[in-house]
Amino acid sequence: MIEFLGEVVAWFTDPANWTGVNGIPNRMWEHIQMSVLATTAAAALAIPPAVYLGHRRKGGVIAVAGVNMARAIPSFAIVAISLPFSIRLGLGLGFWPTFIALFFLAVPPFFTNTYTAVAGVDDALVESGRGMGMTQPQVVRRIEIPVASPVILAAARVASVQVIATATLAALVAWGGLGRYIIDGFATQDSVQVFAGGLLVAGLAVVAELGFSAIERWWLPRGLREPSEDIARVAA
């Protein structure tokens, strides 16, 4: 074990692994790009309708159940299904099939958490806003979204970590990212490279988790953050 760990340290300290297309900085940047694009697209699509349904408190249960059905489909299956269409449309091998799979992976946490949080806003707060003469859009913007924001941020944290971990699938369809180290390592029976790739992915996921946790602590008041923890656990 000590010898193996020494080989891992040697791999990380080898200058050849820090330069060029196959270098750690480039593979890390590819992985981050894919993860950010998929997570951002999922948030942009899932949050607005979830806020609308949560505000109306109608149709949400059916919508949440439908969206959560996507969780039953393995990401690898989505990649495999998307790949022939991507090739047929001339979009290439790796990027779009992986993007679609990660997009579908990230949508359920955003939609479920957002709907649950907005629908769970205290009716007394909503009625108070209406009593002050707020319009429906103002109630959403000034009351429901601020109160629901801790759970929405929790959704972003959960989705980001899941996407980062799953983005290694890109290497299976000839794209880049940190998954290249794992796939190439398996292909050459290089256990050191496989371990190093897994360590990099795990490290990036931990950084994302800590980053979102820091944003929550910095941006959200304690009184707004703590009451939403139970909702976040239920909706995640």
What span, in angstroms and rounded, lies between the C-alpha atoms of 141 and 92?
41
- Given a cut of 50, is residue 228 above it in pLDDT? no
**Mean model confidence pLDDT for the chain:** 86
Q: For residue 168, how many other CB atoms are within 10 A of its CB? A: 21
Residue 56: pLDDT band by 50, 70, 90 thresholds? confident
Q: Give the count of domains, the chain.
A: 1
Q: What is the CATH number of the domain that holds 183?
A: 1.10.3720.10
What would you measure as the largest C-alpha separation in the chain, in angstroms?
71
Q: Please, are residues 36 and 44 in contact by the beta-carbon 8 Å criterion?
A: no
- Given a cut of 70, is residue 235 above it in pLDDT? no
Q: pLDDT tens digit string along 180-219? A: 999 999 999 999 999 999 999 999 999 999 998 888 777 7
Q: Please, are residues 228 and 150 in contact by the beta-carbon 8 Å criterion?
A: yes
What span, in angstroms and rounded, lies between the C-alpha atoms of 24 and 82?
28
136: Cβ–Cβ under 8 A, 6 or more apart, which residues?
A: 55
Kindly state the average pLDDT of the residues 6-25.
92
What is the pTM for the complete model shown?
0.85
In terms of Cα–Cα distance, which of 104, 122, 96, 77 is closest to 174?
A: 96
168, two tokens: 């290694």
Domain that holds residue 108: 2-235
Q: pLDDT tens digit string along 70-102? A: 777 888 888 888 888 888 888 877 889 999 999
Residue 224: pLDDT band by 50, 70, 90 thresholds? low
Q: pLDDT tens digit string along 109-162? A: 999 999 999 988 888 888 888 888 888 888 888 889 888 888 899 899 999 999
What span, in angstroms and rounded, lies between the C-alpha atoms of 185 and 62?
44
So what's the pLDDT on residue 220?
67
Q: What is the CA radius of gyration of the chain?
A: 21
